[in-house]
Every structure is written in C-alpha cells, then in structure tokens.
Amino acid sequence: MKYLNLLLVLIFFAGSVNAKSDYADWPKTITNSKGVLTMYQPQLESLEGTTLSGRAAISVKVNDSEPVFGAVWITTTLETDRDSRMSTLTNIKVPNVKFADDVSEANLAEIKTLIEEEMPKWELVVPLDEIITTLEAESGGAASNYQNDPPEIIVAYKPSILVFIDGDPILKDMEGYPYQQIENSPFFILFDKSKKTYYLYGEQLWYSTKDLNGNWSNVKNPSSQLLEIQQQLESSDETEETETTSSKKEATVADIIVRNKPAELIQIDGEANFVPAKGTDLLYVKNSDDNIILDIQSQNYYILVSGRWYSSKSMSGPWSYVDTEKLPEQFSKIEEGSDLDVVLASVPGTNAAREAVLDAQIPQTAQVERSSASVEVSYDGKPDFQKVDGTNMMYAVNSPQTVLKLSNRYYCVDNGVWFESTKPEGPWTVATERPEEVKDIEPSSPVYNVKYVYIYDVTPQYVWVGYTPGYYGCYVYGPTVIYGTGYYYRPWYGAYYYPRPWTFGFRMTYNPWTGWSMHVGFSYGGWFYAGFGGPHYGHYWGPPRYRPPYYHRPPNGGYYGHRPRPTHPQRPPRDNIYSSRPGVRPTTNQRPPTTSGRTRDTNRSTRQNNVYTDRNGQVYQKTDKGWQTRENNSWKSVDNKGNTRDNTRPATTRPSQPSNQRPSTGTTTTRPTTRPATSNTGRPATSTRNSSYSNQMMLDRANQSRQRSVQRTNTYNRSVAPARSGAATNRRR
C-alpha cells in the first residue's frame, strides 16, 4: 500500500507542475496537498562528450508519514556557455531508479517515466564551478609528447617588455605612409626607410631604435604621422577589455627586449624581496607578478612558465624542467587565499589542480545551421599539403585556415566548426562527422589544437558542435594543466605570413575562471593591434582572431578561498568564438531570475545540502555527529567499522545543490540519449548495507565537494573587475 500511495503521489505531482527553477536551488521539491516529492543535488559521475551521468537521492513524503527514500540515475546533455560559466542540462534520461525495499518493475518504470517528464520542466541551469567541483571522475590525463625544454629565460629587475619577431623581420609597405610594417610579429613595429629607424607602439607610448636588438628610447615628441597612426590604432583596437576611466593607469616607460626565438621574461621590481609563504618552508618574491619561489631546504629557485616548472641554483640560470610529481612537498602546503595560490593549479594533488583538469574538459557548445553556415578558404598560391604527425592525414601549410586532407576528402576547421569538401578550394559544407584519425594528431603538429574541436550530434537541419579549452592551448598534462605544446612551429612565409601557435613569450598565467591569460605591459593601453595596416591576430594563440584576456593579479589575496565582495563587478570574458559567426547559435546561459509557478519552500537557508547516495543506491545523510544511512524507514548512524545502530533522535535535515561533469575527448558524432556503459552508472551493483565503511571516503569527498562548489561559485560571483595593469603597478602588496 505504501508504494501504491507513493506512485499515486508521483502521478499527481506530474500533472500539476510546470515551472522554471533557479540555478543552485537544491533540493528540488514539488508540493501539493498530498505530500512532497524531493530530489537532492545530483552526484556527477562522468562526462563523455556532452553526456553527463550521475545519480541523486530522492524521497517521497505522503502527508504525515515518514518519507520513503531512494536513488535515481540520470544522464543528460550538457550545453555550455563558458563566458557566463553556466550550463543547461537537457535531454534528460533516467536509466534506473531504486528504493530501499522491493518495488515492482512496473512501478519503477512508471517512476522513471515520471521523473523524465518532470525534470525538463525545471529548466536546469547549473554553474560550471559546481560541475567541476562535484564531478566524481578522477582527474589526470594520459601522457602526451609535449615539449618541456626551457625557452631562453630573461630575468629583468626593472619594467621591461619582451617583443618577439617570428624569425627574421618581414617588412611590408604601409599604404599612405612612408613606413614599412614588420608583418611577422603580434607587436606593432614600423620601419622608416629614410631615417633607418624602427618604431614600436604600445601602451600609448612610442619607442625608437636604429637596431632592433639594440637599445630603444621613448619618443617624447612623435611626428604628426605617428600620432595619426596612433589615433587609428586606438580606434581600431579590438581589445576585449574596456576599463573605466578611474582604473586607467599612467603609461610606464619600459626597457624593450627583442627576440626572434622562444623566450620568456621574468620581472622583478628592483632587488628581489623574498618573504615566507605562510605554512610552508618556502620563500617567494613579493615584488614580482611572476611566480618565483625559493625552496629553503634545497636552496633551489623555481619559476612557473606556461604551467611548467623550471628550477635553478641561481636566478641567472641555467634552468631545467621539473616534473610536477617531483616538486618539493612544501608546494602542496601553499594556502588558498594567499598571494601565492595562483600556482596551485600547477601543483599536483591540490583542489585547484584537480578542478583545472576537469575544467579543461568541459566544452563550449553551439548549434550550427547546416544550410547557412559557411567558410571561405584561401591559399597563398597553389595548395601545399604536408604530413600531420601521428596520422595519415595532411594539412595545408599555406592557408590561414586549418585544412586537412584524408584520402580524397578535405576538411576545414574554422573557428570551432568542421567543414568538408571534395576539393581543397571548396565548395564547403558543414561536416557531420570528423575524421577518426584526428584523435591521433601529435603535439608536434601545428594543427594539434583541432583535436579539441568536436561534433556531438546531427539532424537534417543542425549539427551540434563544441570545443574544449585545448583549442585555445590549454592541455591536460598528467595531474595538472599546461599552456601550449612547447613546440616551436615554423610559420608560413610567402606573399603572406601565417603564424602558428606559440607557447612562450606572453607570460601566460592560469586563472580558474578565464583560463590562460597573457601578462604583457604595465598600464592602460594594449600592445597588440588588429585590423590596421597589418596582420590579424591569426593563430599566435590558436584559432584565427582569438586573443587571450590580459592577466590581472587578484586583489585581496589569491584566487581561491573566501574573498570579500569587490567594489566593482568583474567583466565576464568574451572568449566564445561562436558568438559572431553567421549560421551558428552559441549556447548562452544567463543566471536565471527567480520565477515560481508552484509551491516551493522559500526558507532555503534552513535546508541542509547533506543527503547523498552511494553507487549502489543506498541513501546517506551527513550530520554534525557523522554519517547516517537509511534502513527500515529510519536513519541509523554508521560507525567507523561500517556497522549501523539505531538513532535516538530522528533526523530532520534535507540537502541541496546541483552538479555537473567533464567532457571526454572522444570523437562522438551522435549525442547519446542513454547512459554511457560505465561501471559508475546505470543499474546499481549489489552489495550489503554495511558497505558504508568502504563508501565513507567517497561520501566524505562528496560532502567536501559540495561545500567547495558553493565557495568557488560565490568567489567567482564576487570577483573584482581587474585593473588593467602589470607588474610595476599591480604587483603583490
């Protein structure tokens, strides 16, 4: 009779609810005069492509009777907007439901159907940070052949700018002016043929020199022509960051250092000021925005460059690569919220490192209209194809697009969308699957980043696509993430210059919410200009026209831990390359306002987010006295030996919160509608209830992850709008 009532209540609920819910509003409840149905925050297990799998505890309470608890297994499609760091869960399926006691197969089938019908009405919008922190899948990537040899390390003790030219300078006449522009550099460099003088513009200042590799001086009185060019540069600047007037800083005159091979600049503002890192036996340089650490025990210096650690006995070098697994143990003791916590994403075993690895596997998704999306492919001369390392494919070396050839078929990846053709010149149509061999591309190939662009689902009208941060150069390397493959790729020189992705030279720093940011300059005003008399951004950082955000050291401590509310809200990043493409509808998720079409508990502050289910479907709750499990329709405490005992006081707590997953790097071409065949999902395995002891570590981690997901989401929401500044004006205080 109990389960008949349960089923009747579910049926009644199903016909009476149709409303949108707030994100992070867990547990979800559906209430009417007959009782309450509750679903607790899902515990995410795995992400395959865009298919997220997990499980959740559920309960049904009929009038004044004791609630009946069970577990539900769920698969859903993840549609992601990385700019807003929000995801929508769609295409929800319920492979299995289990209750504490026997329920007929017919009733279970009805319950599964009802939950599948109700969950889409919640229109679940979930913060990415909750997905990242609560996903159970183990972090870490398979070993890849990334290049970790150190570039030239330049240590400067006063404001300096590292300007790189991709090989010998390539000069192109500038229409309407008596100058030539160096085409093979992301920096704006001019050459006056009559004066035999080079000019460099950046951060609203002009510099000049007779020798590119010599000393540069600030031009205090630029000519009218230079000022005219400056005005056009500033008006055409495609910078992604616009600061308020009050945040603009006075320009800083810097030393100019020019290199034409991979190099990295480490800056210290005067003599190094080493101070203790709280809770460790480490010292770090406080008067630098670079991460320079001295291990007291070994007396080795460590620097972090593009996610790679290098060490030396002297700040003047030589520097050698250090595997993250061989870092001094003290690195893992660096505290969250400290000035030094920016390095934690590169320290194995830390929450920051695990979350960075999971974040690197979550895609930005979009819907492509097959009839309207298009691409124009150009070549500098006749198409020239060369081998793609690790595959039987070839790629066009003389095209600004990534064009692949496999047998008699051609594929083009353009800003996150796959196209195909029978001819290298086209016509091109939206591809419905990508070549299987793409997954085998080696890091030594300059087209390696297209390995991280996927096709997820296909209909006659649309193709669902996505890319993970690997498309931008963020790669999982064992237990941490790195920037770039470490290889130097030879660019194309012809009538045009087509660069390849660079790993070093931009002082790339990891930000847990915006990914890799470049650290160039000191004050308001940029160093890279596009669309005026010269080259576009083109491929220095991956996709055409993409440029990473500028790095800004977080105020009030580090990235992690609890942080105070800032004076100004943070501007979200605008890295979604799908945003302005015709025929492509990117996933755009906003944090939804509260709307209510049903009766819900409004006293959310009293609702505890402490109910869980293990992988076998047994339900647990966390109290201040430890774990309890549900047996014989009551809560029983679980002791350290895995035994249960009756409680003298019934529990009255209830949890809340959402979760998510990480995407796989497979080449799925159809969106799964059922759970992937993994051991963590689907019909639960059989086990005794005394398996609580073996589950305790998993449950403890799940409990900690829920708490961290709230902290991380709140920290992101409270992030301050960064000041556009660099080491000289925004160093550690």
Looking at the DSSP bridge assignments, the partners of residue 187 are 528
What is the dihedral angle through the alpha carbons of 549, 356, 450, 531, rounded to the nearest 10 degrees? 0
What single string gives the DSSP state of each residue in 563-601?
-PPPSSBPPPP---TTTT-TTEEE-----PPP--SS---
Q: Enumerate residues 6+ apart whose C-beta is below 8 A from 174.
A: 180, 181, 190, 533, 534
Which of 95-99, 311-315, 539-543 is predicted least confidently?
539-543
User: Which candidate, 515, 14, 477, 44, places its Cα nearest to that of 240?
Assistant: 515
Please give the residue that has the higher pLDDT: either 543 or 585: 543
Dihedral angle sign, alpha carbons of residues 23, 28, 29, 30: positive
Q: Residues 621, 637: contact at Cβ < 8 Å? A: no
Q: How confident is the model at residue 633 (pLDDT cuts 50, 70, 90)?
A: confident
Q: Which H or E run contains 719?
A: none
pLDDT at 668: 38
Tell whether the model's pLDDT for residue 602 goes beyond 90.
Answer: no
CA atoms of 56 and 70, how far apart (whole Å): 9
Q: How confident is the model at residue 606 (pLDDT cuts 50, 70, 90)?
A: very low
Model pLDDT for residues 435-452, shown as the tens digit of each residue: 999 999 999 999 999 999
What single string gives the DSSP state of each residue in 620-682?
EEEETTEEEEEETTEEEEE-TTS-EEE-SS----------------S---S--SS--S-TTSS
User: Which candidate, 53, 73, 27, places its Cα nearest to that of 135?
Assistant: 53
Model pLDDT for residues 199-244, shown as the tens digit of each residue: 999 888 999 999 999 999 999 999 999 999 998 888 765 444 444 3
Dihedral angle sign, alpha carbons of residues 87, 92, 94, 100: positive
pLDDT at 560: 73
CA atoms of 8 and 34, how far apart (whole Å): 9
Tell whether the model's pLDDT for residue 166 goes beyond 70.
Answer: yes
Write b or e for each residue in 58-73: b if 16 or more Cβ atoms lie within 10 A of its Cβ, otherwise e.
bbbbbeeeebbbbbbb
Tell whether the model's pLDDT for residue 562 goes beyond 70.
Answer: no
Q: Enumerate residues 6+ apart whose C-beta is below 8 A from 553.
A: 289, 342, 730, 731, 732
Radius of gyration of the chain (CA): 28
Q: Could you tell me the two tokens for 40?
A: 């607790």
Q: How confident is the model at residue 95 (pLDDT cuts 50, 70, 90)?
A: very high
pLDDT at 612: 86
> Within 13 Å of residue 507, how many CA atoms lie on the same side as its CB?
23
Q: Could you tell me the two tokens for 172?
A: 């192109």
Which of 85-99, 396-410, 426-440 is predicted least confidently?
85-99
Q: How confident is the model at residue 578 (pLDDT cuts 50, 70, 90)?
A: confident
Model pLDDT for residues 465-500, shown as the tens digit of each residue: 999 999 999 999 999 999 999 999 999 999 999 999
Tell whether the model's pLDDT for residue 377 goes beyond 90.
Answer: yes
pLDDT at 17: 47
Average of pLDDT values for 243-262? 73
By CB neighbour count within 10 A (0-12 exposed, 13-18 middle, 19+ buried), where does 422 fall? exposed
pLDDT at 658: 33
Domain assignments of the chain as residue spans, ordered by start: 2-123+592-717, 364-467
Q: Which H or E run contains 117?
A: helix 105-118
Q: Could you tell me the two tokens for 506?
A: 């931009």
pLDDT at 626: 86
What are the E-state strand segments in 183-271? 188-192, 197-202, 205-209, 217-218, 255-259, 263-267
Q: Could you tell me the two tokens for 301?
A: 């210096």
Q: Enumerate residues 6+ apart whose C-beta is below 8 A from 305.
A: 150, 151, 153, 264, 504
Tell whether the model's pLDDT for residue 13 goes beyond 50.
Answer: yes
Q: How far from each other are the two terminal CA atoms of the chain, in whole angstroms? A: 68
**Integer angstrom CA distances of residue 563 from 440, 555, 560, 640, 718:** 42, 9, 8, 35, 7
CA atoms of 334 and 356, how far apart (whole Å): 17
The reply to whether omega before 555 is within 30° of 0 (cis) is no
pLDDT at 503: 96
What are the E-state strand segments in 352-452? 364-369, 385-387, 394-396, 402-406, 409-414, 417-421, 429-430
Q: Could you tell me the two tokens for 581?
A: 């493409």
Q: List phi, psi (to 5°) of 57.
A: -80, 140
Q: How confident is the model at residue 509 (pLDDT cuts 50, 70, 90)?
A: very high
CA atoms of 127 and 709, how far apart (whole Å): 9
Q: Residues 483, 515: contact at Cβ < 8 Å? A: no
Average of pLDDT values for 254-268? 95
**Size (the chain), residues:** 733
Please give the residue that has the higher pLDDT: either 591 or 470: 470
Tell whether the model's pLDDT for residue 516 goes beyond 80.
Answer: yes
Q: Could you tell me the two tokens for 286?
A: 């406080």
Strand order of the sheet with strand 619-623? 611-613, 619-623, 626-631, 634-638, 644-646
Q: How confident is the model at residue 544 (pLDDT cuts 50, 70, 90)?
A: confident
The three-state secondary structure class of 103 is: coil
Model pLDDT for residues 682-729, shown as the tens digit of each residue: 434 444 444 444 567 778 777 777 777 776 776 666 554 443 333 333
pLDDT at 398: 96
The average confidence (pLDDT) of the chain is 79
The reply to whether omega before 318 is within 30° of 0 (cis) is yes
Tell whether the model's pLDDT for residue 405 goes beyond 60.
Answer: yes
Q: Residues 491, 482: contact at Cβ < 8 Å? A: no
Q: How confident is the model at residue 541 (pLDDT cuts 50, 70, 90)?
A: confident
10 Å Cβ neighbour count for 641? 8
Tell whether the model's pLDDT for residue 127 goes beyond 80.
Answer: yes
Q: How confident is the model at residue 280 (pLDDT cuts 50, 70, 90)?
A: very high
User: Which candidate, 489, 273, 248, places its Cα nearest to that of 388?
Assistant: 489
Average of pLDDT values for 607-615? 79
The three-state secondary structure class of 519 is: coil
pLDDT at 717: 64
pLDDT at 453: 96
Q: Could you tell me the two tokens for 538?
A: 């083109």
Q: How confident is the model at residue 104 (pLDDT cuts 50, 70, 90)?
A: confident
Pairing of strands 584-586, 515-517: unpaired
Average of pLDDT values for 554-572? 54
The reply to whether omega before 27 is within 30° of 0 (cis) is yes
pLDDT at 613: 87
Which of 28-32, 311-315, 498-502 is predicted least confidently?
28-32
Average of pLDDT values for 398-421? 95
Q: Residues 274, 281: contact at Cβ < 8 Å? A: no
Instruction: Using the structure block, give the residue that is written with the tokens 């890799």.
Output: 516
Pairing of strands 626-631, 634-638: antiparallel
Please give the residue that has the higher pLDDT: either 540 or 107: 540
Q: Could you tell me the two tokens for 454?
A: 């996927």
Q: Residues 249, 552: contact at Cβ < 8 Å? A: no
Please give the residue that has the higher pLDDT: either 9 or 490: 490
| Amino acid, res. 524 | Y
pLDDT at 397: 97
CA atoms of 186 and 266, how far apart (whole Å): 20
Q: How confident is the model at residue 564 (pLDDT cuts 50, 70, 90)?
A: very low
Q: How confident is the model at residue 575 (pLDDT cuts 50, 70, 90)?
A: low
Question: How many degrees, rounded to 5, is the angle at CA 342 between CA 338 and CA 346?
Answer: 125
Q: Enumerate residues 6+ apart whose C-beta is below 8 A from 713.
A: 24, 127, 129, 130
The percentage of residues in the chain with a pLDDT greater than 70, rounded to a whole number, is: 74
Q: Could you tell me the two tokens for 321?
A: 């690569």
Please give the residue that has the higher pLDDT: either 653 or 249: 249
Model pLDDT for residues 169-189, shown as the tens digit of each residue: 999 999 889 999 999 998 999
pLDDT at 237: 56
pLDDT at 635: 86
CA atoms of 357 and 48, how far apart (whole Å): 15
By CB neighbour count within 10 A (0-12 exposed, 13-18 middle, 19+ buried), where does 464 fall? buried
CA atoms of 721 and 551, how far apart (whole Å): 12
pLDDT at 245: 37
CA atoms of 16 and 621, how far apart (whole Å): 29
Tell whether the model's pLDDT for residue 197 goes beyond 80.
Answer: yes
Tell whether the model's pLDDT for residue 664 goes beyond 90.
Answer: no
Model pLDDT for residues 77-93, shown as the tens digit of each residue: 999 888 888 888 999 99
Model pLDDT for residues 316-371, shown as the tens digit of each residue: 989 999 999 999 999 999 999 898 999 999 999 999 999 999 999 999 899 999 99
Q: How confident is the model at residue 36 (pLDDT cuts 50, 70, 90)?
A: confident
Q: How confident is the model at residue 661 (pLDDT cuts 50, 70, 90)?
A: very low
- 384 Cα distance to chain centroid: 34
**Crossing angle of the two packed helices 2-14 and 105-118, in degrees rounded to 10:** 20
Tell whether the model's pLDDT for residue 192 goes beyond 70.
Answer: yes
pLDDT at 704: 73
pLDDT at 719: 58
pLDDT at 729: 38
